[in-house]
Amino acid sequence: MSEREIPDVTVQGVDVPALGLGTWRLAGEDCRRAVETALELGYRHVDTAQAYGNEREVGDAVAAADVDREELFLTTKLVNGNRSYDDVRRSVEESLAKLGTAYLDLLLIHNPIQRAPLTETLRAMDELVDDGTVRHVGVSNFDVDRLHEAREAADHELLTDQVQFNPYWDQTALLDYCEIHDLVLTAYSPLGHGGVLTTPCWRRSATGTASPRRRSPSGGVSSTRTSRSSRRRPHASTSPPTERCSTSS
């Protein structure tokens, strides 16, 4: 492995780069430059969403990068308003055009909203897999019950549930479910929007200094965890983890 290479995690026989670049809140030239730089540095997994309004800039960066399309793992997400059968089909065509790609590696339902037709949405997503427009489908922000319901409703196995996962956000039940059923749990906001870095735990165990920013991984990333990495998962907690950290760092 070269020093720039990010390892894959494998579920359902699918290799997914373990670390991805998240693009939430990135816009315009900043977004294009961030994605282009990330690709230069070795990132191969880029996470965007229709709701982020930056698919075109992500696409521009991908087009400018010296990376074969087959090496990339491109994810986008259906905005809540695009959940009917027709809207899924139409909006994915628009996403493909903006991203400048013939196919998506992963298409997610962004949120489990009640008013949206889950079965209808998944039927359209299944068809996109059947016709090769989308390689894999999944969900985001689904709890265990909703994830199970979605898996039952879909023809194709869901690859992932992308959820907030960091020491302040307990996802143990979901992680266990994903391990049992060979799904990837994709962690968003792994740094708790940066808040994790200000805890005594991080300062002691990861840097040993009072200025973690210089030594920590870059922000805006979406990392992926599976059963193979579960032993290294942070102890999730909804309260500040000072006590736990003092015993583990």
Ligand X SMILES: NC(=O)c1ccc[n+]([C@@H]2O[C@H](COP(=O)([O-])OP(=O)(O)OC[C@H]3O[C@@H](n4cnc5c(N)ncnc54)[C@H](OP(=O)(O)O)[C@@H]3O)[C@@H](O)[C@H]2O)c1
Q: Which of 62, 88, 191, 201 binds ligand X (CB under 6 A)?
A: 191
Q: Which of 76, 91, 95, 189 binds ligand X (CB under 6 A)?
A: 189
54 binds ligand X (CB under 6 A): no
Q: Backbone phi, then psi, for 116, in 5-degree steps?
A: -85, 145
Q: Output Rg (C-alpha) for the chain, integer angstroms.
A: 18
160 binds ligand X (CB under 6 A): no
213 binds ligand X (CB under 6 A): yes
Helix, strand, coil % over all residues of the chain, rounded to 5: 45, 20, 35
197 binds ligand X (CB under 6 A): yes
Q: Are 73 and 107 in contact (CB under 8 A)?
A: no
Q: Catalytic site residue 43?
A: no
**Which of 150, 152, 159, 151 lies closest to 184 in space, CA to CA?**
159
220 binds ligand X (CB under 6 A): yes
Indicate the residue among 86 and 209 with the shorter CB distance to ligand X: 209
**CB of 26: closest distance to ligand X in angstroms?**
7
Task: Report the distance separating Cα 178 and Cα 183, nearest Å.
Answer: 5
Question: Hey, which residues are catalytic here?
Answer: 52
**Site residues (vs ligand X, CB under 6 A):** 22-24, 47, 140-141, 162, 188-194, 197, 212-213, 216, 218-222
